[in-house]
Structure 1
Amino acid sequence: MSAAARWSEESLTRAVQKMWTARAVSTRSGKHMQAIESLIINHVLDVTGDFPLTILQGDKATIPGFYRPRKNWDIIGVHGERLVFAVEVKSQDAKKLGNNANNRNEEAVGSATDLRQVYANEILGKGDSWFPWLGYIFILEDDERRAATRDSAQKVDAAFPLDPIYGERPSYARRYHVLCERLLETKLYDGVSFMICPPSTDGRITHPDEGTGIRFSDFMQSLDERLDEYRKLVS
């Protein structure tokens, strides 16, 4: 299995642009993320070749929970009765940032924590040394008025000061950037990607600075390496 990239920045940009177009119509069906999910799935199928890995989406990508009966991930890879990987793909437009920001944080932390308890309590993976690779992608709308540059948190009297990493009045872009870095640093997820992109046909994706480990290329490289490790394990 090769770890060579089967995607490009151009194909990623097109997928994100398609996501914004579909999101403008509706988010209720969950299909607005289809272009990005397809990019990941096609890459996985390409690098795994004839290896019998089953990719599931939608309702079929449902696995048992620990703190809840079940959890529906966006993409899962299954080999036999073993969960090989699971991915969440989320986006946020600028209009509802104030309502959804904390929910997105809690959702990301909760999904990975729940799955790790599923394995710790042997609801899945009983007697198995393999733990699935977990991935998280977050795409934020680039909107100067609301998302990427505005100081979105007003200074308030509080019992304790904020963690200095956020600054005194962190923008939503800064909050999500820190979230994604820490999801990776604390090993809740094995691969994380944070992107900022305007909802336009000519919009370009902004990635975090090099070295943060949360660029899309970092995400895909980590997934490739884990897939390669799994194939060697079962061969």
Structure 2
Amino acid sequence: MNIDKRLRAAVQNYWNARRQNKEKQVKSGKIDAGTRGEVTGGTQMGGLEVLVSDILCEAGLKKVDVRTRTALELPGYFRATKKWDLIVVSDGALVLAMEFKSQAGKSIGNNVNNRSEEAVGSAKDIWTAFREGRFGTSPAPFLGYLFLLEDRDNVKTPVANKEPYFSVDPEFRGESHLKDTAAHRRYRGVSYSKRYELLCRRLVLERLYTSACFMMATNSRATKLTQPAEDLSFQRFVAALRGHVVTFLGSRST
């Protein structure tokens, strides 16, 4: 499998799906506000889900065990269940659970915090459920987080931090080596794309997710795909996936 080529095609499929959803809205005469019409239908990440599914099956998992459309609910601890985007249940064991998230359009500010809270909460919920034995006595599952951000000017521009009482983490100022001075506190801050990159990296550093991937792509009929951070690249993400599958299958054969 040419993963790079398949990845570009899957990301292009994301934009095509959004356009098709919007066109359906226009034809029906029911147009949602903003970009909501583009995501109505829930198929925009389908190309990426299929790509990951294929990678998992090529690594040795049974296709019937990899689910992306139905029966995606897993038990939680703080809530009864949570619906994931892709799960693998094999021989009664939870092998993997994944989230596929994206952000596109002009409105992005509030969504960064919402996505962060959602990612942290979902991970905390499932790991606590795992601790409580909701998934039996199987080894810990692979928890994956993949994020696709539209590559546009407003996500790459520094954003001011509001700090009425306390200073934010230096990483969110963009100059972590500077001392905490009045001049430093007036620093504008990092861009939204950098905030998402930090989110994905810290989700892994704090062991909330086994691996994370962060990508950016232009909204066009010939999309340009970039991967800002090597440690969050799709290639490294795939390597982690394959490694987990090999370990799981090896444990089953002994």
Q: TM-score scaled to structure 2, two decimals?
A: 0.82
Q: Is the 8 A contact 1:141 1:199 kept in 2?
A: yes
Counterpart of 2:178?
Answer: none
- In 1, Cα distance between equivalents of 2:195 and 2:76: 28
Offset from partner CA, 1:85-129 (integer Å, 9 cap, x none): 01111000032212311110111111111100111111222xx15
Counterpart of 1:138?
Answer: 147
Counterpart of 1:158?
Answer: 164
Counterpart of 1:214?
Answer: 232
Provide the aligned C-alpha RMSD in A. 1.6
SS at 1:32's partner residue? coil
1:30 aligns with 2:30: no
SS at 1:30's partner residue? coil
Offset from partner CA, 1:114-145 (integer Å, 9 cap, x none): 100111111222xx15111010000000001x
**Which aligned pairs between 1:51-70 and structure 2 lie closer than 5 A?**
51=62, 54-70=65-81
SS at 2:39's partner residue? coil
How far 1:52 moved relative to its partner? 7.3
Q: TM-score scaled to structure 1, two decimals?
A: 0.89
Q: Is the 8 A contact 1:197 1:203 kept in 2?
A: yes
- In 2, Cα distance between equivalents of 1:7 and 1:107: 32
Counterpart of 2:210?
Answer: 190
- In 2, Cα distance between equivalents of 1:103 and 1:227: 31
Offset from partner CA, 1:151-188 (integer Å, 9 cap, x none): 23x34342111111111422100100100110111111
Q: Is the 8 A contact 1:56 1:75 kept in 2?
A: yes
The one of 119, 126, 137 aligned to 2:130: 119
- In 2, Cα distance between equivalents of 1:155 and 1:104: 18
Counterpart of 1:201?
Answer: 221
Q: Which amino acid aligns with 1:55?
A: V
Q: Which amino acid aligns with 1:35?
A: G
The one of 99, 112, 123 aligned to 1:101: 112
Structure 1: runs of 5+ lacking an equivalent: 1-5
Counterpart of 1:3?
Answer: none
Measured at CA, do residues 134 and 201 of structure 1 come closer, stay the same or move farther in structure 2, by a change above 3 Å? same
Which structure has the greater CA radius of gyration?
2
Q: Is the 8 A contact 1:191 1:219 kept in 2?
A: yes
Counterpart of 1:76?
Answer: 87
Q: Is the 8 A contact 1:166 1:175 kept in 2?
A: yes
- In 1, Cα distance between equivalents of 2:139 and 2:106: 41
Q: Is the 8 A contact 2:148 2:217 kept in 1?
A: yes
1:14 aligns with 2:9: yes
Counterpart of 1:40?
Answer: 52
